[in-house]
């Protein structure tokens, strides 16, 4: 589809169109992944951040955040617990924290790689130099999540301070891909000032990049940010965009995000039905979970990891899907069943 066609489809969508879309998108997903849902253990290892993104609760200007960092032992404990619960992917996510130099990051990555050679290591630590990405890859990282956030320059500048640019974000994504990572990108749905044309551009960028993973979730207001008076994105539009992404990237790994589960009690189940096939439960120590508040009312911040996984297994099977414990690497176009 062209950018104009995406814009038309998004702006003229209705219930009938959405139901038809989900019937197509869930078929596509089953052609590649059947009923399987992969789990990724999310370790939120630092909430220090040098950036000041207007939407994000852990932006550097938010003085109400109690900052924390996990050390290597904390992180390895999370992995140990995760491994015994069946996780074979660990996602290290954090703010852009200068304390974690390349040397420290490589130390952490190689230690996890040494102990868990059958696991995938995913990083989500923002914009770095190409040499840094290469060093993490050489230390044993396999995947990288970096949402482009919005593919429109003007919109990008309304969500970020001027020292951040869409061009650099894209440069990072292409570097990561060239180095050999399985790359994930994505955007927030309903972020302030977003239009149907912006979303169409996001779809065109995703089509161009052909990422292995695409993460989208609703924007959710955070009370201590410049966007505290902006409304959150909707469940309805987020599901519609998930369906479109599945049709555009039939082979991709697409999470049903925590943000989706936050705006609606059954949001993640509906996400799976719209085409998602990944869930990312929180493996962070319970003591820090409430401090990694990207947005208000984030769910699953009080439970132990084991409770989270049991709850998710029930949720996933309630809509006819099944959690599997493999690494869950991306499929190739030719892997269609
Ligand atoms: N520092 C890393 C990780 C960011 S947190 C990076 O820059 O990539 C992961 C994602 O959370 C972000 O990419 C953003 O899309 C999302 N996020 C941040 N604030 C949010 C909010 N208020 N509502 C919904 N999602 C948000």
126 CB within 6 A, ligand 1? yes
Cα distances (angstroms) measured from residue 231 to each of 55, 191, 218, 261: 11, 8, 10, 17
Residue 14, H or E segment: none
Does the pTM surpass 0.85? The reply is yes
261 CB within 6 A, ligand 1? no
Domains of the chain: 3-328 (3.20.20.70)
> Look-up: residue for tokens 């996001």?
202
Name the phi and psi angles at 157, rounded to 5.
Answer: -75, -15
DSSP 3-state assignment of 7?
A: helix
Nearest CA, atom 11, ligand 1? 294
Ligand 1 probe mutation, 294, 296, 297, most atoms within 8 A of CB: 294
The CA dihedral of 129, 39, 203, 269, to the nearest 10 degrees, is -150
> Look-up: residue for tokens 């009690």?
265
Each residue's pLDDT expressed in tens, for the chain with a length of 337 residues: 999 999 999 999 999 999 999 999 999 999 999 999 999 999 999 999 999 999 999 999 999 999 999 999 999 999 999 999 999 999 999 999 999 999 999 999 999 999 999 999 999 999 999 999 999 999 999 999 999 999 999 999 999 999 999 999 999 999 999 999 999 999 999 999 999 999 999 999 999 999 999 999 999 999 999 999 999 999 999 999 999 999 999 999 999 999 999 999 999 999 999 999 999 999 999 999 999 999 999 999 998 988 889 999 999 999 999 999 999 999 998 898 8
**Per-residue exposure over 214-231, b if at least 16 CB sit within 10 Å of its own CB, e if not:** bbbbbbbbbeebebeebe
The predicted structure's pLDDT at residue 333: 84
147 CB within 6 A, ligand 1? yes
The predicted structure's pLDDT at residue 336: 87
Closest ligand 1 atom to the C-alpha of 294? 19
100 CB within 6 A, ligand 1? no
Name the phi and psi angles at 69, rounded to 5.
Answer: -135, 140
Closest ligand 1 atom to the C-alpha of 221? 22
The predicted structure's pLDDT at residue 32: 96
Pinpoint the alpha helices (H) of the chain: 3-11, 15-33, 72-85, 102-115, 130-139, 153-159, 166-179, 196-209, 235-248, 258-263, 267-274, 286-289, 305-318
Residue 138 CA to residue 133 CA, distance in Å, equals 9
Distance from the CA of 62 to the center of ligand 1, in angstroms? 15
Distance from the CA of 147 to the center of ligand 1, in angstroms? 8
> Look-up: residue for tokens 């990008």?
156
Distance from the CA of 188 to the center of ligand 1, in angstroms? 8
């Amino acid at each position: 589809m062209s950018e104009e066609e995406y814009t038309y489809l998004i702006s003229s969508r209705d219930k009938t169109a959405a139901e038809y879309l989900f019937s197509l998108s869930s078929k596509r997903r089953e052609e590649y992944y059947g009923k399987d849902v992969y789990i990724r253990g999310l370790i939120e290892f630092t909430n220090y951040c040098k950036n000041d993104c207007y939407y994000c609760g852990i932006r550097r200007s938010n003085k109400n955040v109690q900052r924390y960092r996990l050390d290597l032992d904390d992180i390895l404990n999370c992995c140990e617990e995760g491994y015994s619960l069946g996780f074979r992917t660990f996602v290290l996510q954090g703010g852009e924290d200068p304390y974690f130099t390349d040397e420290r990051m490589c130390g952490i990555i190689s230690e996890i790689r040494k102990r868990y050679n059958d696991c995938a290591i995913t990083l989500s630590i923002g914009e770095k130099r190409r040499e840094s990405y290469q060093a993490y890859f050489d230390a044993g990282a396999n995947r990288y999540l970096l949402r482009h956030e919005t593919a429109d320059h003007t919109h990008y500048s309304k969500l970020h301070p001027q020292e951040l640019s869409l061009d650099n974000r894209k440069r990072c994504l292409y570097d990561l891909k060239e180095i050999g990572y399985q790359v994930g990108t994505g955007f927030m749905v309903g972020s302030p000032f977003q239009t149907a044309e912006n979303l169409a551009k996001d779809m065109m960028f995703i089509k161009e990049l052909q990422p292995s993973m695409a993460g989208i979730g609703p924007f959710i207001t955070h009370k201590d940010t410049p966007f505290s008076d902006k409304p959150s994105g909707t469940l309805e539009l987020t599901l519609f965009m998930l369906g479109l992404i599945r049709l555009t990237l039939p082979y991709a790994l697409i999470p049903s995000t925590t943000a989706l589960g936050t705006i609606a009690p059954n949001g993640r189940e509906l996400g799976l039905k719209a085409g998602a096939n990944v869930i990312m439960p929180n493996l962070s120590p319970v003591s820090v979970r409430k401090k990694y508040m990207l947005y208000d009312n984030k769910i699953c911040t009080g439970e132990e990891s084991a409770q989270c996984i049991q709850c998710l297994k029930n949720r996933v099977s309630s809509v006819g899907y099944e959690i599997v414990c493999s690494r869950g690497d991306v499929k190739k176009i030719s892997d269609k069943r």
